Amino acid sequence: MNKIFKTALINTIGTTLYVGAVGGFMYYGSMIKIGQKAGFLAPVTLLLLFVFSAALTGSLIFGKPILLYLEGKKKEAFTLLISTLSIFFIITFSTIVLLLVI
């Protein structure tokens, strides 16, 4: 397994695990009765989670390719980005198929 594919696989698995953790938190968190105490903090917390998620997943998917590109390794950067997005697409498509089968 070459280094670019291994990096793409690690970044994609990290992104998938993070998305799964946030999805689980949102699913099971909705069962917690917060009541009226949350008020203003509930939407602020959700927006903070959204911004953090965008930053984290963006850095996992685009961070290393951007660094490679800035170092002048354009071919490696493009290959890493395409590999990462391809693996992520396969995982996403597999999840959709699994939802339709279950």
Whole-angstrom Cα distance, residue 49 to residue 77? 28
Write the pLDDT tens digit of every residue in 10-59.
999 999 999 999 999 888 877 776 666 667 787 888 899 999 999 999 99
pTM over 0.75: yes
Q: How far lies 43's CA from each of 37, 46, 49, 77, 80, in Å?
A: 13, 5, 10, 37, 36
Task: List, for residues 65-100, the tens digit of each pLDDT value.
Answer: 999 999 999 999 999 999 999 999 999 999 999 999
Number of H helices, E strands in the chain: 3, 0
